Amino acid sequence: MLFQVEMKVNVPSPDQVDPATFDEIKAREKAYAAALQEDGRWRHLWRHVGLYSNTSIFDVESNEALHELLTGLPLFPFMDIKVIPLCRHPSSIRDGDR
């Protein structure tokens, strides 16, 4: 199943989370995202220009699988997330679309 996911990171203030700790969380996030991209579940990742947010396409087997993946993101506690389920458009000429 394909999902479009918009993620906005709300950077905590230094009195909420130590900046060094937040840097460590971001490093874990980068490694987690890379592993998901390598195994094909995180198919696309685009940055929103000038913002700490992105639009991504995930390819997972179920709603539950997406939920587990997203809640496993190290930055999840600091994110606003919007999920849009996707399906193949009948006019698409791309065989790889599902």
Domain ranges of the chain: 2-86
**Whole-angstrom distance, CA of residue 28 vs CA of residue 97:** 30
Chain-centre distance for alpha carbon 57: 8
Fold for domain 2-86?
A: Alpha-Beta Plaits (3.30.70)
Cα–Cα nearest to 98, from 55, 54, 40: 40
User: Given this model, what pLDDT does residue 95 score?
Assistant: 78
Instruction: Give 24-33 pLDDT, tens digit per residue.
Output: 999 999 999 9
Is 1's pLDDT higher than 90?
yes
Q: Determine the length of the chain.
A: 98
- What Rg do the C-alpha atoms of the chain give, in angstroms? 15
Instruction: Give 32-78 pLDDT, tens digit per residue.
Output: 999 999 999 999 999 999 999 999 999 999 999 999 999 999 999 99
